[in-house]
Amino acid sequence: MTLTRRGADIIAIVTVLVGLSITAVLFRVLARYKRRVQFGMDDHLCFASAVLLLAMLIELILWVLIGGNGSHQADLNEGTMKHFYKIFLANQFTYFILSPATKISIVCFYRRVFTIKPFQWVSFAINTLIAAWGAAIFLACALQCRPLNSYWDHSVPGTCFDSRKFIIVNQAFNVLMDFVILALPVPMIWNLQRAWQDKLALNAVFALGAFVCFASIYRIVVLFWIEPADITYTIYQATLWTHIEPSIGLICSCLPIIRGLFPKLKLSGSRKATAPYYMNTGLSSAKSPASEFFKLEDKSTFSRSTSETAVTGAIVTAPCLGPLDIQVRTDINVVQGEGSLRSHSHAST
């Protein structure tokens, strides 16, 4: 079928977003390589999310070209409508894997940065909930029609539940989790022994995820705009925001790591901090990065037996040495000579 203006627009927009997401992931890899930090679960989930985003882009292109997305339903034949529903179902499966993968990746990144046990337990519980919900939604998607082929072939008798309500319920859970993930690191950041300007800068990085929360909420709104009588035309906005949300989420998940590529960035108004305010986002296997990056610590981990020394913009903790127990004893023997005095000193410790 002919590519419509709406179809061309949505493909162009989503292609740019996916391109930015892939670029962010590549910069993430570069930051890990430059700092010689081993890849963790958060990195692997980001790679998987990038692949799933590419899959959704391919599905979108097919959805527009052979599925009639963006066109009026009255202008489409029966074969095109079958393609529409088949790709729609495939898009749901991909999204139901991509969304929890991105969220779990962000929480796993938090777990690498904040190693305090209470935070580890809370973050593990959140990841478990997200994974369990994702598995349940994926299974429900596979069972939304019995038999499943009645979803795209309406000539086959079968029973299906309301897919729009099903998607809205899942999106409501995503909105809740987005706000939880956004607020999760805030108490940890404000407990750091850093200047308030540095804490504000760290929060600003995490606050970029607020746009993901907005995208999730707006996606619920546009889902109500879908009209079953002309689903191929009215699903346009829902399709667009279904791709915007995970793309921005993946970019935001990479930004804290990408900031490690710019170690000289500082806040000009910072008074207390003597080191850059970006974070060490993993444990390095080499010794050299330790002189450039610091790991966020909670206030409770600092004790009186440690002191901080600023060395080339990094914080180095070393045991505090008390006054040395040194005694000095000096014996002076004065011998009258020929116009001169000779002194002999002996020191012992």
User: What domains appear along the chain, each with residue ranges and CATH number?
Assistant: 5-261 (1.20.1070)
Are 192 and 298 contacting, i.e. CB atoms less than 8 angstroms apart? yes
How confident is the model at residue 198, as a pLDDT?
Answer: 57
How confident is the model at residue 264, as a pLDDT?
Answer: 59
Strands 145-146 and 159-160, how do they pair?
Answer: antiparallel
In the chain, helix, strand, coil percent, each to 5? 60, 5, 30
> Angle between the 236-258 and 196-207 helix axes, to the nearest 10 degrees?
150
Helix (H, G, I), strand (E, B) or coil at 336: strand
Alpha-carbon distance 230 to 146, whole Å?
A: 24
How confident is the model at residue 275, as a pLDDT?
Answer: 36
Is residue 21 over pLDDT 60? yes
Please report which confidence band the pLDDT of residue 257 belongs to, taking 50, 70 and 90 as the band edges.
Answer: confident
pTM: 0.73
Are 70 and 233 contacting, i.e. CB atoms less than 8 angstroms apart? yes
DSSP string, 147-165: SGGGTT-TTS--EE--HHH
Is residue 68 over pLDDT 60? yes
Enumerate helices (H) and strands (E) in the chain, giving the number of each. 10, 6
Are 127 and 71 contacting, i.e. CB atoms less than 8 angstroms apart? no
Alpha-carbon distance 246 to 309, whole Å?
A: 42
Mean pLDDT for 74-96 is 94
Mean pLDDT for 179-205 is 71
**113-162 pLDDT tens trace:** 888 999 999 999 999 999 999 999 999 999 999 999 999 998 899 899 98
Is residue 216 over pLDDT 80? yes
Mean pLDDT for 198-209 is 61
Helix (H) or strand (E) holding 233: helix 231-234
N-term to C-term CA, the chain: 95
Are 256 and 206 contacting, i.e. CB atoms less than 8 angstroms apart? yes
Question: HSE on the CB side for 151, CA within 13 Å?
Answer: 22
How confident is the model at residue 213, as a pLDDT?
Answer: 87
Reading the block at residue 142, the tokens are 């596979």
The CA radius of gyration of the chain, in Å to the nearest whole number, is: 30
Alpha-carbon distance 116 to 309, whole Å?
A: 24
Report which of 17, 54, 81 is spatially closest to residue 233, judged by C-alpha positions.
81
Tell me what the pLDDT averaged over the chain comes to.
78
Is residue 192 over pLDDT 80? no
How confident is the model at residue 1, as a pLDDT?
Answer: 63
| Amino acid found at 250 | L
How confident is the model at residue 8, as a pLDDT?
Answer: 93
Helix (H, G, I), strand (E, B) or coil at 122: helix
How confident is the model at residue 261, as a pLDDT?
Answer: 79
How confident is the model at residue 163, as a pLDDT?
Answer: 87
Are 222 and 243 contacting, i.e. CB atoms less than 8 angstroms apart? no
Mean pLDDT for 19-32 is 94
Alpha-carbon distance 325 to 322, whole Å?
A: 9
| Amino acid found at 290 | A
How open is the CA angle 195-190-267, to the nearest 5 degrees?
Answer: 35
Which one is predicted more confidently, 5 or 336? 5
Report which of 93, 98, 96, 67 is spatially closest to residue 235, judged by C-alpha positions.
67
